[in-house]
Amino acid sequence: MTELLAAIAVLAVGTYAFRATGPLLRKRWKPSPALQRTLEVASVVLLAAVAARSGTFHDGELAGGALIGGAAVAAVLSWIKAPFLVIVGAAVAVTAGLRYAGLG
Amino acid sequence: MYAFIVLNMDTINRTELHSLLRSVAVVCLAGGILGISYGALAIGYGLPWWIPVLLSVAVVAGASEMMFVAIIGVGGSPWLAAAAGLLVNARHVPFGFQVAPVMGHGLRSILGAHAINDESTSFAIAGSSPAMRRLGFWACGVGIVLVWPLGTALGTWLGAFLGDLDRWGLDAVFPAMILALVIPKARAGGAVLTTAVVLGAAITVATASFLPAGLPELLSLAAVAFARPWRPATTEWELSS
């Protein structure tokens, strides 16, 4: 039990350290415009990667067509700048619909 | 919260503000639902209720918590679970640098750091003005920090009664909302940024089936090199003026 609590503490403190590095460093060091652009591009690329993975994999395995279909619809609607609620609603509806139709 | 919104009113127009708050509300509702399914999942492994709830309060990063619970749930080492969770969460380092300017200084940056997550970072990037980015980050960040543990606790309590939440297509909510915030940003950055984003996503999806969770996402950063954003600014890179 002590071991488990210590491991949770390591994960919590480590994650906070990851998050706080940028905000705390920024007080004494301001990234150059070139580095700022690089970090912004890195954040956009990373977030898209997180979304792509969560839209194609489920519990560590390749997801069925229902989730992938819903995520693909969301990607297309996002590209044409549909309203936020429409994008999320359509993704859920398509995924649930395809799943109801038996597409995993 | 209300005072905070009022303070920002002069720099944000009303329609934009309402649309932002509606989006934040949807994201927080989705976060709560995701929390419920995570709490139910943890109970499904036979873990006591306080483990997922403690993780949700102290870590607030869904993917890493699910991984932690999945590893200890099948009797794996807690240290391995912590290491896997940290790998999943390493992406918060670049997020922190990106979000820092909208957080403010002093106590705000110390507290705000805990509110950095996929959703709040997306709002901090997607906002159309500095005031919108600031408000989006704080509203969403604080919302998730509150709603995620509440959802988790509810999920451990409701547990097995819920059945399979995925039947309702709710697993599509998370990718959909991140895409909704990030894709317009990629598009606004022009063909080079869009290509880098697609390339990065392709790297992640192609490696996700055989690499440990977290690593495929970090590998997507190789695609940043394609955009060469460190070169002197061209008009194309005026992303967040």
Interface test with B, best of A44, A73, A80, A100 (most B CBs within 10 A): A44
Nearest CB to B96 within list A18, A40, A79? A18
Residue B203 contacts A, CB cutoff 8 Å: yes
| Mean pLDDT, rounded, for A29-53 | 87
Instruction: Give the pLDDT band (50/70/90) at residue B204.
Output: very high
B132: its two tokens: 């919108």
Residue contact B86–A23, C-beta within 8 A: no
B59-86 pLDDT, tens per residue? Answer: 999 989 988 998 898 888 899 899 989 9
The Cα A95–Cα A67 span in angstroms is 5
Instruction: Give CA torsion, residues A49, B147, B14, A80, to 10 deg.
Output: 30
How many residues does this entry show for chain A? 104
Instruction: Give the pLDDT band (50/70/90) at residue B49.
Output: very high
Residue A101 contacts B, CB cutoff 8 Å: no
A94: its two tokens: 């398509």
Residue with the two structure tokens 């652009």? A37
Kindly list the domain boundaries of chain B, sorted by start residue: 2-169, 189-241
A62-96 b/e with 16+ CB inside 10 Å = b? ebbebbbbbbbbbbebbeeebebeebbbbbbebbb
Instruction: Give the pLDDT band (50/70/90) at residue B241.
Output: very low
ipTM: 0.90
Question: Residue B174: what pLDDT?
Answer: 86
A82-96 pLDDT, tens per residue? Answer: 998 899 999 999 999
| Mean pLDDT, rounded, for B87-99 | 92
Residue A68 contacts B, CB cutoff 8 Å: no
B161-170 pLDDT, tens per residue? Answer: 776 777 888 8
The Cα B62–Cα A6 span in angstroms is 19
Question: Residue A67: what pLDDT?
Answer: 95
Instruction: Give CA torsion, residues A85, A86, A90, A93, to 10 deg.
Output: 60
CB atoms closer than 10 angstroms to residue B2? 6
pTM (whole model) above 0.90: no
